[in-house]
Amino acid sequence: MWRFRGTDVAAARALVEAAFDADVTLFDTADIYGPDNDEEFGAAEALLGRVFAEAPGLREKMVLASKGGIRMGVPYDSSAAYLAEAIDASLTRLRCEKIDLYQIHRPDMLTHPQEVARALDDARTAGKITAIGVSNHTPAQTAALAEFITVPVVSHQPEFSALTTTPLFDGLFDQAMQRGMAVLAWSPLGGGRLADPTDERSRAVVALLDEKAEEAGVDRTAAAYSWIMAHPARPIPIVGTQNVSRIATIPDAYKPQWTREQWYAVLQASMGERLP
């Protein structure tokens, strides 16, 4: 929902319903989504809230995820007081009583993880959030939070694509598998670089994705998503398209089946070197 924007509620509702038609059930937003679209802080949540007001049944059909902890000009604040305020503000904008998955958007280095845990536990006890996750956190930062919280941290949200492979090597996927955490992969198309490769490395990756796409009878986007999904941590690509016809093609990601040789060939092309 990063690019979920505007004032046309009917068009916004059409996007949500198109996602349901494509068997998408997880909707991931954040309070900071808005300024990047030249809109107000919280604009994406507020637009979704207007959709819920028009069609309340849609809320019950989805897993609603949001994020907080970024403040304009600060930039990060996960203090107990601010998180309590941010969660209440998100609920008001979303016009709902509970957020299914609440994630700390970026780690706040000036807040002790025990304080973050206390704020999240309080919100969960009050029935305002159900599950707790982290976004853009290292495995060590996640482990520190998990040490103080009374329920499991259930999800990671890292950047991951065929061009950004850090979670494979920094222990994040290993931690996710060890703890049974979901992985929500943001920018799964490499920030647009897979659509428009401009350097030798991206062109090498794209060539291999295109080979797989042709083999499976899908487009490059589906091949890129499927490469992500092939990892045993079972990453879930966070698809950002705001186009109804593109949303309809999301299930094509299940069609390509990667052999080990093919999958590792993409990784090595991304690395620019062979694995030892």
Q: Where residue 101 falls among pLDDT bands split at 50, 70, 90?
A: very high
Write the CATH number for 117. Answer: 3.20.20.100
The total domain count for the chain is 1
User: Which pTM does this prediction carry?
Assistant: 0.96
Residue 213 included in any domain: no
- Cα distance between residue 182 and residue 231, in whole Å: 12
Nearest to 59 by CA among 86, 33, 94, 90: 94
DSSP state string for 73-115: TS-B---HHHHHHHHHHHHHHHTSS-EEEEEE-S--TTS-HHH
Question: How do residues 170-218 score in pLDDT, each as one tens digit?
Answer: 999 999 999 999 999 999 999 999 999 999 999 999 999 999 999 999 9
pLDDT attached to residue 64: 98
Residue 31 buriedness (CB in 10 A; 0-12 / 13-18 / 19+): buried
pLDDT attached to residue 190: 97
pLDDT attached to residue 148: 98
Residue 14 included in any domain: yes
Secondary structure E strands in the chain? 26-28, 63-68, 99-104, 129-135, 153-157, 182-185, 236-237
pLDDT attached to residue 273: 96
Q: Where residue 224 falls among pLDDT bands split at 50, 70, 90?
A: very high
| CA 117 from centroid of its chain's CA atoms | 21
- Cα distance between residue 206 and residue 200, in whole Å: 10
pLDDT attached to residue 233: 98
Q: Give the containing element (helix H, strand E) for 216.
A: helix 200-216
Q: Where residue 235 falls among pLDDT bands split at 50, 70, 90?
A: very high
Residue 266 included in any domain: no
DSSP state string for 151-180: S-EEEEE-B-SSS--GGGTSSHHHHHHHHT
Residue 179 included in any domain: no
Burial letters 146-185, b for 16+ CB under 10 A, else e: beebeeebbbbbbbbbbbbbebbeeebbebbeeeebbbbb
Sheet with strand 129-135: strands edge to edge:
26-28, 63-68, 99-104, 129-135, 153-157, 182-185, 236-237
Nearest to 16 by CA among 40, 37, 47, 41: 47
Residue 140 included in any domain: yes
Residue 99 included in any domain: yes
Residue 166 included in any domain: no
Percent of the chain with pLDDT over 90: 100
- Residues 59, 64, 67, 68, CA torsion sign: positive
Can you give the residue range of the structural domain that contains 69?
9-157
* 3-state SS class at 118: helix
Catalytic residue, from 33, 82, 102, 225: name it. 33
* Residue 160, phi then psi, degrees to nearest 5: -155, 130
pLDDT attached to residue 56: 92
* Residue 70, phi then psi, degrees to nearest 5: -105, 130
Residue 260 included in any domain: no
Section 67-95 average pLDDT: 98
82 counts as catalytic: no
Section 53-61 average pLDDT: 96
Q: Where residue 31 falls among pLDDT bands split at 50, 70, 90?
A: very high
pLDDT attached to residue 29: 98
Question: How do residues 151-172 score in pLDDT, each as one tens digit?
Answer: 999 999 999 999 999 999 999 9
pLDDT attached to residue 194: 97
